[in-house]
Structure 1
Amino acid sequence: MSDGAIDLRAEARAKAYAMPLADINLADTELWRTDTVWPYLERLRKEDPVHLHPAHHHPDGAFWSITKYADIMAVDINHEVFSSEPSITIFDPKEDFTLPMFIAMDPPKHDVQRKTVSPIVSPANLHLMEPLIRSRITKTLDELPIGEPFDWVDRVSIELTTQMLATLFDFPWDERRKLTRWSDIATAGPESGLFLTDDYETERRMELFACVDYFTRLWNERVNAPPKGDLISMLAHGEATRNMDRMEYLGNLLLLIIGGNDTTRNTMTGSILAMNQNPDQLRKLREDPSLIPSMVSETIRWQTPLSNMRRTATRDFELGGKLIRKGDKVLIWYASGNRDEAAIENPEAYIIDRERPRNHLSFGFGIHRCVGNRLAELQLRILWEEILPRFPEIRVLEEPRRVASVLIRGYSSMQVVIPARN
């Protein structure tokens, strides 16, 4: 970590504890882009773990922030009181652009739609996919330049996860970077730098309509062919999904694209950054590569690629001594729960041989627990199984550029160099 980054964090800590509690705003994108949100989360955990943000903190109104591990878990597993409808993000759906998707549904519809696509990440299917994943990872790593700076995010993290996504969808290989673009656009705000005009909402909708038009052509091909094992064919032939309208199809596509790409992509980058910041842990891993699965889980906790999920109260409910009213917006901050001292020992430290490394919130809990969590772990495990024997060092050259997003804890670029062997 550079001296500048340390100064920024020290300044954020002083500011977080000096301001009135009511002024802390976790919906401030800048706190996440600069990676200075941590002392604000810490203070809320200590002083007001069930915290009501006033309406002026966000254009879509007031919201609760739940920051302690146990409270987050209590909300996540109680889908009857804390509903995923109408949205799992802090933003309310626009009346003229609603995107139904099964992660933002309650049972029974959620269950049958999720069941339609879940076979693609079954243990048996993951076992079949492992040789393909490994061959792509080895090819990508073998083509990296030695002794020359390059962007790890673009050359490795985006490339590998987009290849995987193209396989899951059976998407035209040469056009797979469209998936990356749609994933980025779906979660981007006006401050992201991804849009060409000031009317970012219109531009965003146009790109997402282009996405569903492209996938509709694939749907029409698959629905008129025998069922196959890719996601489009599963949706086209599935009892619970074959009659989706255009917007519900788009909603579920975006869920699968983001879930199958963004989270793993950012944890791949985060793993390199974590090892640079914690060289003692890298030494530990090199001395004992059997720690790779444990390291993968610790990285997923440390990174927390989705910082939060939103729920909406279906009735009045008391939590942590506060009365949450029916209709209130509730944000459960996984990023905070994963740093909760009451649940995780020494949570600020990156420790690859923790006693219970999978004891994290990054995949969620309850009915919405990440359907592809084992695939993510598999890709990260194989990546490090192939990195260790190849590269004695992957050196991060400067602070990475982080995504300007309250939802996605990610990286837009990270310059690295692989030093030549002596």
Structure 2
Amino acid sequence: MSGPISISNDIAKKTFSSNTHPPINDLKSKINFTDLDIFTQGQPFEHFKKMREEAPVFLHPPFFNDPEPGFWSLTRHEDILKVSSDPKTFSSQAGTGTMITLGREDRRHPKLWRSAVDHMLNLDGDMHINLRREHMPFFKPNYVSDLRIKVQAKVTSLLDAINTSQDCNFVTAFSQQLPIFTLSEILGIPESDRPKLVTWMEFLELAQYIQVEQMKKEQEGEQNNEPVNTDMIDMFNNMIDEMFEYGRDIMNAKRKDPADDLLSAIANAELEGHQLSPEFLDGSWLLIIFAGNDTTRNTLSGAIKLLTENPEQKQKLIDNPELMPNFLQECIRMISPVMHMRRTTMCETEIGGQKMGPGEKVVMWYGAANRDPEVFSNPDQFDIERANADKHLAFGIGRHTCIGKPVALMQLEESYKQILTRFPNIHMSGDWKVAPNNFVHAIQEMPVKF
């Protein structure tokens, strides 16, 4: 029997195919989803609309200075549903389910790259199911019900601590804090260590941007024969080292002395008869603190913007609290906090009339699918009574549906029950700030008045 599984070892030198068949669609306007700056204005919904109308299966050019070929971009609900529902044809493991590109080999971060590859979202078949099964007890109804009691109390304490007589950044005051608390309760992270997760999250959201900007500066420096300032990259590397060192220490401690928490379950899980490799422990740690925190945090913040821009919907919710579950689904549809996932074709196939060969990259843009007028009437309108709001794909669909979905919905419900009861006049009081990131819709600042 071979040793512990490491996907990153298998695909470290992998090459992917360019388009075997010519594209059947083209765009009249230039769109570049690898330009991270466009995401600082929020998701590019107008670009998604043009793509759905002109080139719903669009051959997107590669990243700046990337040795890999471009990728097929999907913007229609039905096409993304098809890809998500057929893991044998569209693999998560062959080229990762999360990364549009593996990047240049010489540019890969020695720790962050492997951990971004070696985790559950990048597994297919039985390996994915078996590792997912280890997580499941911490997301079942009874567990979530007990967790809800703690979340209710935390929401109250966070709102109590806000000075409502002045403006505040809702992200740092509330929406950043609650998911960290909830996640730490599930994981078994000591309370004294929890503030570290907040700092690590902020750096992870900027990781992609820092790398791209560093590459550009190096190229400019070579052209101008000027030295490159590495202060930012040094600070980033130190933070990443600290994050992984902590993760390994706590995972190793959970192996020696397991408790009834998710970190213990992961630390002692097995793949193909072996305990998880060091790379998979790092990857599991990275996935948990990123995915377990980011989506809920950004939906909490994004909902403030939606309620501010749609006061009649806000009043309708206050007058009719029974609309809360549908309100949450509509918020998630409109915000789509995870912007894309990626698959790799395993054979000759076809999407929306476009033929593809094996080894080609396919990227699913969830924010585009969730505003597809073929599924959602008046898709850009925020409507908390929308009959099919829950048909959104923001949590994914199929085998890779977000495992944390029940915990996310529970946190959102408990938060907005209390927020709208205590502060019905809460609203945005200035411009938001969004990180330059095309994977998650990362809201960094949300100024509010109470």
* Residue aligned with 1:21, SS: coil
Residue 231 of structure 1: how far off its partner (Å): 1.4
- Aligned with residue 120 of structure 1, among 113, 120, 138: 138
Distance 1:21 1:63, change over 3 A: farther
1:262-283 per-residue CA deviation (whole Å, 9 max, x = no partner) reads 0000000011111001001001
1:331 aligns with 2:331: no
Q: Does the 8 Å contact 1:400/1:415 carry over to 2?
A: yes
1:176 aligns with 2:194: yes
CA RMSD of aligned residues (A): 2.4
- Aligned with residue 314 of structure 1, among 346, 351, 355: 346
Residue 331 of structure 1: how far off its partner (Å): 0.4
TM-score by length of 2: 0.83
Q: 2:4 maps to which residue?
A: none
Q: 1:67 maps to which residue?
A: 75
1:135 aligns with 2:141: no
Q: Does the 8 Å contact 2:348/2:355 carry over to 1?
A: yes
Residue 380 of structure 1: how far off its partner (Å): 0.3
Distance 1:184 1:107, change over 3 A: farther
Q: Answer with 249-258 or 372-381: which moved more.
A: 249-258
Distance 1:356 1:255, change over 3 A: same
For 1:54 and 1:400, locate their aligned partners in 2 and report how far apart those are by CA, in whole Å. 30
Q: Answer with 178-187 or 121-130: which moved more.
A: 178-187
Distance 1:222 1:56, change over 3 A: closer
Q: Does the 8 Å contact 2:120/2:128 carry over to 1?
A: yes
For 2:233 and 2:135, locate their aligned partners in 1 and report how far apart those are by CA, in whole Å. 30
Q: Does the 8 Å contact 1:307/1:406 carry over to 2?
A: yes
- Aligned with residue 114 of structure 2, among 84, 93, 98: 98
For 1:412 and 1:242, locate their aligned partners in 2 and report how far apart those are by CA, in whole Å. 40
For 1:182 and 1:56, locate their aligned partners in 2 and report how far apart those are by CA, in whole Å. 25
TM-score by length of 1: 0.89
**Aligned amino acid, residue 114 of structure 2:** T
- Aligned with residue 87 of structure 2, among 79, 86, 100: 79
**Aligned amino acid, residue 354 of structure 1:** R
Q: Does the 8 Å contact 2:210/2:233 carry over to 1?
A: no
1:163-190 per-residue CA deviation (whole Å, 9 max, x = no partner) reads 1122122112122122123233334246
Aligned length: 399
Distance 1:199 1:55, change over 3 A: farther
Distance 1:202 1:52, change over 3 A: farther
* Residue aligned with 1:412, SS: strand
1:250-300 per-residue CA deviation (whole Å, 9 max, x = no partner) reads 111111111110000000001111100100100100110111111111111
Q: Answer with 127-136 or 164-173: which moved more.
A: 164-173
For 2:445 and 2:268, locate their aligned partners in 1 and report how far apart those are by CA, in whole Å. 39
Distance 1:219 1:137, change over 3 A: same
**Aligned amino acid, residue 167 of structure 2:** P
For 1:259 and 1:129, locate their aligned partners in 2 and report how far apart those are by CA, in whole Å. 18
- Aligned with residue 33 of structure 1, among 17, 40, 45: 40
For 1:169 and 1:205, locate their aligned partners in 2 and report how far apart those are by CA, in whole Å. 25
For 1:181 and 1:310, locate their aligned partners in 2 and report how far apart those are by CA, in whole Å. 27
Question: Please, which runs of 5 or more residues in structure 2 have no aligned partner?
Answer: 1-25, 215-227
Q: Does the 8 Å contact 2:27/2:55 carry over to 1?
A: no
Question: Please, which runs of 5 or more residues in structure 1 have no aligned partner?
Answer: 1-18
Q: Percent identity?
A: 28
Distance 1:338 1:319, change over 3 A: same
1:296 aligns with 2:328: yes
Residue 229 of structure 1: how far off its partner (Å): 2.3
- Aligned with residue 233 of structure 1, among 247, 261, 264: 264
Q: 1:164 maps to which residue?
A: 182
